[in-house]
Amino acid sequence: MRTLLQAFTLLLFSFSFIFANDFREVREISLKKDEQKKILVKYDNKDKLFTFRWTLYKNGGLVVFRSYDRIVAQNVLYLRHKNQSFRFELKSRGTDFYKVPYMLVKFKEFDQKSQEAKFEIFLSDDKGQIVLEDLKTLKEG
């Protein structure tokens, strides 16, 4: 039984290692309420703007407003729930229909003392087509 448990643990760590390498870039950021994060996404001589901010943290849910390439959306993210993150494709599905570069934003932690939400941003881009450039973070009034 012990050998089976050791094999299972080894297999579990192997899979987590394999899937961890799926992302080309990982960033961690912290935002206060209504502080807006701006990231310029560059590829194929195109520049597209990704912005997001959070406006409310209540009952363990974080309300996030986001915009990418003028498409606006709202998400409610939870720490201990399926809805910890949102994902969006960075370019249209062309010839790379099955391997479209995407970004994943994950709600990682909420610091009650500093009133900051912490996020991880993952970039999946197998072919290295995407360049992310941080722009100045703005505080909404």
Does any domain span residue 106? yes
Give 35-46 pLDDT, tens digit per residue: 999 999 999 899
Does any domain span residue 74? yes
Does any domain span residue 2? no
- Cβ-proximal residues to 3 (8 Å cutoff; 6+ apart), any chain: none
Does any domain span residue 17? no
Query: Containing domain of residue 123, as a range?
Result: 23-139
Does any domain span residue 62? yes
Give 23-64 pLDDT, tens digit per residue: 888 999 999 999 999 999 999 899 999 999 999 999 999 999
CA distances from 40 to 2, 50, 52 (A): 50, 6, 12
pLDDT > 90 in the chain, percent? 59
Instruction: Kindly give the parts of the chain with pLDDT less than 50.
Output: 10, 14-20
pLDDT of the residue at 127? 84
Does any domain span residue 131? yes
Instruction: Give the Cα separation of 36 and 106 in Å (integer).
Output: 16
